[in-house]
Amino acid sequence: MSSEDLENYETEAELALYREYRDVVGLFRYVVETERRFYLCNKVDLQVRSVGADIYFEVTMADAWVWDVYRSARLVRNVRVVTFKDVNIEELDHDDAMPDIRQLRGGR
């Protein structure tokens, strides 16, 4: 497999993922963004935890869809994320639910 074939495969996979996102976004109420993943979900709970001087975030989500091109099953019943990094949670306004694909790919 050439590097061009691999690049074409990745491009097609990302385009298919974006199309899937476009098809399912209307089913969800929240967007949750962590340093590693982008989620759509219908229920989200954020808890700030501390251990000594360290603070971390525990995010639990229900009925979630995961933006991950390498996952075969993106619909997940329950998700739990523990992170020391920022967490962004937004309630969707379905008129503005279609972000630019470059935003979802980290600006590439």
pLDDT (average), residues 50-72 = 93
Q: Does residue 98 have a pLDDT over 80?
A: no
Q: How far is CA 72 from the centre of its chain?
A: 14
The overall longest dimension of the chain from CA atoms, in Å, is 51
Token digits of residue 43: 């229920």
Nearest to 100 by CA among 21, 41, 9: 21
Which residue range is the domain that position 20 belongs to? 3-104
Query: Based on the structure, what is the number of domains in the chain?
Result: 1
Mean pLDDT estimate for the chain: 87
Contact criterion met (CB below 8 Å) for 28 and 92: yes
pLDDT digits (tens, 9 = 90+) for 6-44: 788 888 888 999 999 999 999 999 999 999 999 999 999
pLDDT of residue 8: 82
